[in-house]
Structure 1
Amino acid sequence: MERRSGTIHQERANSGTRSLFPRALWVLLLTLVSAFAHGQESPARSVYFAGSGNAPLDQHLVQLLKGELEPAISLIEVSEDQLATLDSGPIITVGPAAFSRARQANRSAHILAMLVDKSFISGFAERSPGQITGVLYDVPLIRQALTGKAILPQATKIALLATADSVELYEPLIDELPAYGMSARIFLVDSNDKLIPTLVRALGYGDFLLAAPDSAIYNPRTIKHILLTAYRRNQIVIGPTQAYVKAGSLASSYAPFPEMVELANDFLERFFESGQFPEPSYPEHFRVEVNAQVARSLNIPLPSREDIATRVDRQLTVNGEVSDE
């Protein structure tokens, strides 16, 4: 009986010991998992923001970016004087001037340029791949051309104005147009006083005038004369931006700010993963701005903005151009 009692006590002791081991292991496991999870949390990261100087525009972009970026990423606004002191974290710049200031102040900085045209940023990105990129602000000219065709389905000929320095802007477009049943002709403007006479010849050729972001021709000093001349000849102008639509251009495609910010966030995520930026790119989705008053004055039936954008997207998809934009 004594032996039996001792055996029972020993079994209970062994049982208690066994019950302690799983509990201790479980606590240890939880500790390790917690430590591992803590180590896997995204580290605090900083992105610097160098604005354009246009306070309402800059603050609008800041708010959109803060709403898109991960909570672990801090968006820090910096002044021009601070650019040279930044030694970590990428810089978002707004507009060509802000990019140029950041680039000159800090040659080693990784820069994501916003509100810049392809013609402006491409050279920098090619010379500094992975370090310089941009969310492109201009609209691919083939998309603008198809915007015009969505409004004038019978259009087959497009008129283009260019200077000797800007003619290359249109060369890719001329190669692309035949796939969409259109062609284009470039009319060279030799000097400022030849602008309107050359425009008149261009309007006599094309079904509409397609305007590119060419500041030598389309600028605040000339746009009123260009639009009035086209209007008096019952011709329309497509592009180059939303601002020109308000001034009297009939329509223009454009990338909305939320789309540009979404692409900027994608670029930043890829940067934090690899330490490199992807190549400059256009946002995936575009919208269309129209001037209904101009359309009524010219007796042009105007589809809805959504319908125009849908037609353009469909054409680009059918012809396989979406990925090339």
Structure 2
Amino acid sequence: MLIWAFGHSAFAQDEAVRRTVYLAGSGNGALDQHLTGLLQSQMGEGVNLRPITDDQIPMTAEAPVITIGPSAFSRVRQGNRSAPILAMLVEKSFISTFADRSPGQISGILYDVPLIRQALTGKAILPQATRIALLATADSVTLYEPLLDELPAFGMAGRIFLVDDADDLIPTLVRALGYGDFLLAAPDSAIYNPRTIKHILLTAYRRNQIVIGPTQAYVKAGSLASSYAPFPEMARLASQFLDTYFETGEFPPPSYPDQFRVEINKQVARSLNIPLPSREDIAARVDRQLTVNGEVSDE
């Protein structure tokens, strides 16, 4: 496992001193190289890239470390408790506790999508939708509770259906599909994972119901649509966070990027006879709704 280190332009009072930033990769070479290139582009000229090994993590001094994915974050956090860390490709539920305990030292560019944005993605496709079905376990139910408070401002309501165990998943899903105009999937691995997703999507499809979310990957598997934050936007925000760190010595709190896009599955839409707006139109409708109703807490 390698960690990439690269310098930035002049540091504070001395333009001869470069800002050093370390990048802890995910282990996915293509992903790490892609994000490295985007970060380099955003951070400007004078960026030097050099690999360092994991056993050098304790020697990063006070230079900030960008981590790609939760595993890289955990590795760096365990290897150097004093390192300032900017986590990328992490979900709000993962990084929030760390950031709350170490404000300014630990932050993140959030990878998941605010659930209200996902809900509005579904409503942009089904304008008459008023009821949203949500599946959760006893451990993940709190993930959805803020959404229930936000939905009425957008003319919608939601209901959580609790899944007690693996055998209860499909019967609970059937009840949920009978309630909601669509099923909203959150990044909840206890419910949505490679073992369950095929059964969830087939069950919904057979009942002429759509699934929204939780990620682009699930759209390819058969969800109808999902909002997502594009990598260039995440890299841009990461660069801004690093600028703030070098100016103040602290990171801003974890945040979502400002811009989101929408992935759609046209084949599923055709099979269910659903007129599907363009991806750009869906994203624009969601942005308008959020603007009209104000930025909600989950954003």
What's the TM-score, normalizing by structure 1? 0.86
Query: What does residue 157 of structure 2 align with?
Result: 183
Match of 1:152 among 126, 130, 140: 126
Cα distance in structure 1, aligned partners of 2:75 and 2:59 = 13
Question: Which structure has more strand as a fraction of its residues?
Answer: 2
Cα distance in structure 2, aligned partners of 1:222 and 1:193 = 11
**Are 2:231 and 1:244 aligned?**
no
Answer yes or no: is the 8 Å Cα contact 1:110–1:132 preserved in 2.
Answer: yes
> C-alpha offsets along residues 200-253 of structure 1, whole Å, 9 cap, x if unaligned?
000000000000000000000000000000000000000000000000000000
Match of 2:45 among 59, 71, 90: 71
Written as runs of structure 1 = structure 2, the 5 A alignment for 1:35-74 is 41=15, 43-74=17-48
What RMSD over aligned residues (CA atoms) do the two structures have, in Å?
1.4
Q: CA deviation at 1:76?
A: 4.2
Judging changes above 3 Å, is the alpha-carbon distance between structure 1 residues 146 and 237 closer, same or farther for their aligned structure 2 residues?
Answer: same
Query: What does residue 112 of structure 1 align with?
Result: 86
Answer yes or no: is the 8 Å Cα contact 1:47–1:90 preserved in 2.
Answer: yes
Cα distance in structure 2, aligned partners of 1:201 and 1:322 = 29
Any idea what SS the aligned residue of 2:151 has?
helix
Give 2:123's aligned amino acid: K
> C-alpha offsets along residues 255-294 of structure 1, whole Å, 9 cap, x if unaligned?
0000000000000000000110010000000000000000
Match of 1:315 among 289, 296, 299: 289
Cα distance in structure 1, aligned partners of 2:45 and 2:104 = 24
Give 2:42's aligned amino acid: E
Query: What does residue 170 of structure 2 align with?
Result: 196
Q: CA deviation at 1:73?
A: 4.6
Q: CA deviation at 1:88?
A: 3.0
Cα distance in structure 1, aligned partners of 2:227 and 2:55 = 36
Cα distance in structure 2, aligned partners of 1:265 and 1:85 = 23
Match of 2:198 among 224, 248, 261: 224
- Which consecutive residues of structure 1, in runs of 5 or more, have no partner in the other structure? 1-38
The percent of aligned pairs where both chains have the same amino acid is 77
Query: What does residue 261 of structure 2 align with?
Result: 287
**Are 2:258 and 1:272 aligned?**
no
Any idea what SS the aligned residue of 1:64 has?
helix
Any idea what SS the aligned residue of 2:88 has?
strand
Q: CA deviation at 1:85?
A: 1.9
Answer yes or no: is the 8 Å Cα contact 1:89–1:110 preserved in 2.
Answer: yes
Query: What does residue 139 of structure 2 align with?
Result: 165
Cα distance in structure 2, aligned partners of 1:54 and 1:226 = 28
Judging changes above 3 Å, is the alpha-carbon distance between structure 1 residues 41 and 322 closer, same or farther for their aligned structure 2 residues?
Answer: farther
- The structure having more radius of gyration, on CA atoms, is 1
Query: What does residue 97 of structure 1 align with?
Result: 71
Count of aligned residue pairs for this structure pair: 288
Q: CA deviation at 1:79?
A: 2.9
User: Taking CA–CA contacts closer than 8 Å with sequence separation of 6 or more, which of the two structures ends up with the larger relative contact order?
Assistant: 2
Q: CA deviation at 1:110?
A: 0.2
